[in-house]
Amino acid sequence: MTTSTTIGGTTTTVSQQLLDTMNGTNSVSSSSAASGTSGSDLQQTFLQLLVAQLQNQDPTDPMDSSQMTSQLAQINTVSGIQQLNTSLTSLSTQLSAGQNAQAALLIGSTVLAPSSTVSVSDGAATAIGVTLPSAASDVTLTITDSTGKVVNTVDLGAQSAGNVPLTWTPKDAQGNALPDGNYTIAATATVDGKSSSATTLAASQVQSVVQQANGSAGLALSNGNTVPLSSVAAIL
């Protein structure tokens, strides 16, 4: 909303919000930029009104310089916030484009990423691993077959925090070779005497790059999972 006000015989059209600010009945904040009036427009209008006030002020009752300085600082803050938002939006766009380009380079590569499925073929298993949020005094890996039967439990001992690549020979608890197929892996860790879960990792080939719901790049893997680029623990 705009209104026309006359100061000393000079008519200047300004917004009601700006008049309220000059009169001390409202404060200029970052919401001004969101209302459709840019910070630079408000600043220009403010300066025009300020000059008109200075030219027509009562010499016996001059303007309060501290209030004038405060109002100018508020206008500059609005302009600065708008410029910062523009810069952050541009930076976000550039980072997203760079992330997509980086993800595209992984197509055809084998990566170690979060998964609970490990594949056994010709007596060899795909690479696996675990991700630990903190150092564990003991880590146990449990492998089950397609029927849900536990075929082996592997004690990995103490492990440091972070991504821990593992080598697993596909054998059951009695040392017999496991048949080809897909197996489910789960890991538990003992941290400070308490049992907690750990994220399991498995190797899979990157088939394509997809855009996720949050706009970031995701990797579509050959095991059917789609994972964020940031979750890749290793490129094999």
CATH topology of domain 114-203: Immunoglobulin-like (2.60.40)
Q: By the 8 A CB rule, do 152 and 106 touch?
A: no
Which tokens belong to 132? 């630990």
Q: What is the pLDDT of residues 150-168, one digit of tens each?
A: 999 999 999 999 998 888 8
pTM: 0.58
Q: What is the pLDDT of residues 30-86, one digit of tens each?
A: 444 444 456 567 667 777 777 777 777 777 776 666 766 776 677 677 667 777 777
Give CA–CA dist 161/74, Å, rounded: 48
- DSSP code of 18? H
pLDDT at 8: 46
Helix (H, G, I), strand (E, B) or coil at 110: strand
- DSSP code of 229? G
Give, in order, the Cα–Cα distances in Å from 217 to each of 12, 160, 200. 51, 29, 21
- Answer yes or no: is pLDDT of 177 > 70: yes
| Closest listed residue to residue 120, CA positions, set 145, 142, 139 | 145
> Which amino acid does the sequence have at 27?
S
Q: 20: part of which helix (H) or strand (E)? A: helix 16-22
Domain segments of the chain as ranges: 2-103, 114-203
Q: By the 8 A CB rule, do 178 and 154 touch?
A: no
Residue 208 has a CB neighbour count (10 Å cut-off) of: 13
